[in-house]
Amino acid sequence: MAKLVRGQSATWVPNEYYWRGKPKLSKIVYQVVSPNSASQAIKAHKFEVAQVVNAQWKQVKDTKGVKFIAQIPLAYNYLGFKVGKWDAKKGRNVMNPNSKMNNKSLRQAIAYSMNIAQVTKHYTNGLSFQVPTLIPKQFGDYYNKDAKGYHYDLKKANELLDKAGYKKKGKWRTQPNGKPLKINLLAMSGSVTQEPIVQNYLQQWHKVGLNVQLVGGRLTEFNSFYDKVQHDDSAVDMFMAGWGLSSEPSPNGLYSEGGPANYTRFVTPENNKLIDEIDSQKAFDRKYRVQKFREWQQYMNDEAYVVPMFNSYKIFAIDDKITGYSLKPTENSNGHPLWYKVGYVK
């Protein structure tokens, strides 16, 4: 790195000792732009490489002088329920059995109230799509193709809440103990469609009598969002976040008792058992590991501590003058091209 302007740009120059030899580019400049102005930057050819904001696809798809390439990343967005805290001294997650959100029927009802398929179709030009499990399809046999996930079903949501004792008192439901129920949602700010999407989900939850409100009454900036999530802010009952994954599908790092990134802080003997089995000596038998992965996905869907929501195509606009830029797995590393192969035709 030759130069860094915090929050604005980073400039990279070749390493003279790079083992593959001298690259074709003399420098690479990364620049930060607002998601709301990304489409204008692409149409104005301000950058040789720019990521498309999916909600702006219709605005840029006919741009001349660029090629569009895309991939489905190893990633997903999810809804998580806070049910405990991270114990730094013990180095593990500690679940609170009396947590407001530690009721499976409540969590399932919230999931059934979400019209995710409709939202992705309407707001993302079909470039996002609902996912049924926490293991992406790209992982082949490890993906549980029989997992149903949570489809939009307000009737089922109401039935679950009624049966669990969340009775309506006026407009809103109360807790089973009769006390008022208010659920605080933490959601991140983003593109221009983020606000209407989140407001849509709030409306769906309101339809079944759940008083769900945004933390602070508005969307939360990225850094503040993760500060609240990571430090188990008491104002947060549930949150919408996302994961980019590694090529190893084990859920150990994200959902184990000892994983700091298990932001919901759920801990159960069954989850511990399944994760241990997934990463055990027995799991060198592929058939055994596949079976345990499928059991884990089914278990996680049923418990609904973390509800998978959607994944999205990742699209880049590449200037016609650029050569050697590829998203193929053999030509790519962690979502970035092999820059030594990228060139510029004048």
**Pick from 263, 247, 259, 260: which is nearest to 305 by CA?**
263
Q: What is the pLDDT of residue 126?
A: 87
One domain, residues 89 and 135: yes
One domain, residues 122 and 256: yes
CA 263 – CA 224 distance, rounded (Å): 15
One domain, residues 293 and 172: yes
CA 198 – CA 35 distance, rounded (Å): 17
CATH number at residue 23: 3.40.190.10
Helix segments in 54-207, DSSP class H: 57-60, 104-112, 116-123, 154-163, 194-207
Q: What is the pLDDT of residue 110?
A: 98
One domain, residues 51 and 144: no
DSSP state letters, 294-339: HHHHHHHHHH-SEEEEEEE-EEEEEETTEES---SGGGEETTEE-G
The region, left, alpha or beta by phi > 0 then psi within -120 to 50, assigned to residue 91 is: left
One domain, residues 203 and 248: yes
Inter-residue contact 24 to 339 (CB < 8 Å): no
Backbone angles phi, psi at 158, to 5 degrees: -60, -40
Q: What is the pLDDT of residue 329?
A: 77
Collapse the DSSP code of 32 into the 3-class scheme (helix H, G, I; strand E, B; otherwise coil) and give the result: coil
One domain, residues 19 and 108: no
One domain, residues 176 and 236: yes
Q: What is the pLDDT of residue 1?
A: 95
Q: What is the pLDDT of residue 35?
A: 84
**Pick from 331, 324, 329, 293: which is nearest to 72 by CA?**
329
Q: What is the pLDDT of residue 191?
A: 80
One domain, residues 16 and 39: yes
Collapse the DSSP code of 186 into the 3-class scheme (helix H, G, I; strand E, B; otherwise coil) and give the result: strand
CA 293 – CA 334 distance, rounded (Å): 23
Inter-residue contact 33 to 9 (CB < 8 Å): no
CA 316 – CA 313 distance, rounded (Å): 10
One domain, residues 159 and 307: yes
CATH number at residue 261: 3.10.105.10
341 C-beta neighbours (distance < 10 Å), count: 15
One domain, residues 212 and 97: yes
CA 275 – CA 271 distance, rounded (Å): 6
Domain coverage including residue 36: 3-72+313-344
Residues of the chain with confidence (pLDDT) below 70? 334-335
Q: What is the pLDDT of residue 334?
A: 66
Greatest alpha-carbon span in the chain: 72
Tally of domains within the chain: 2
One domain, residues 230 and 302: yes
Q: What is the pLDDT of residue 315?
A: 95
One domain, residues 85 and 33: no
Residues 6 or more apart in contact with residue 306 via CB below 8 angstroms: 78, 79, 80, 81, 134, 255, 264, 266, 300
Give the pair of three-digit tokens for residue 89: 């001294």
CA 245 – CA 335 distance, rounded (Å): 11
